[in-house]
Amino acid sequence: MEKINVKDLDQSPAKLFDNEWALITAGDENGYNTMTASWGGMGELWNREVCFIFIRPQRYTFEFIEKNDYFTVSFLGEENKKALAFCGKYSGRDYDKAKETGLIPKFIDGTTTFEQARLVFVCKKIAYQDMDPKGFIDKSIANNYAQGDYHRVYVGEIVACYKN
């Protein structure tokens, strides 16, 4: 993997998340979990380059993000879509996702990504905020939360970016 400057990326974050999907991973060789996410973004905040991710509290991955200072946002390309579909359907509480999918964990910078990743953002957790329905100006947004499981938004400062 080659380390690159995040400002040299020429790909649309909307396309990356919505079309390719991401794996959000937290933890290290002593224990990690990963899940698929298609809601998220990246950009500038507080004079830093950041990723925003949106995690519902019932996700097993939520526990790992809470416990760890870092997480990764990894893009694996269309050829790994089946693996991402698995990681987005089943919980790490019930399955060893790496074993089931053939994804190979790669431990870098104190956190975890996968050998198959083509683009990786290593993020340092710097802030979180729970979604508050009071702020839903467009009331139809509430349709995403029939069970009241409002996402926790994490802001991760991008401390490294790697490309394969």
Which residue's structure tokens are 């019930």? 94
Strand partners, 70: 124
Nearest residue to ligand FMN by CB is 88
Asked if 81 interacts with ligand FMN (CB under 6 A), we say no
HEC sequence for 14-65: HHHHHHHCEEEEEEECCEEEEEEECCEEEEEECCEEEEEEEECCCCHHHHHH
State the DSSP code for 7.
Answer: G
Helix (H) or strand (E) holding 104: none
Does position 92 interact with ligand FMN (CB under 6 A)? The reply is: yes
In whole angstroms, how close is the CB of 3 to ligand FMN at the nearest point?
26
Nearest approach, Cβ of residue 104 and ligand FMN (Å)? 17
Question: Binding of ligand FMN at residue 55 (CB under 6 A)?
Answer: yes
What residues from 16 to 45 belong to the interface with ligand FMN (CB under 6 A)? 21, 33, 35-39
Instruction: Tell which one of 14, 82, 89, 127 touches ligand FMN (CB under 6 A).
Output: 89
Q: Which of 34, 1, 5, 36 is nearest to 116 (CA)?
A: 1
Contacts with ligand FMN, residue ranges (CB under 6 A): 21, 33, 35-39, 54-56, 59-61, 88-93
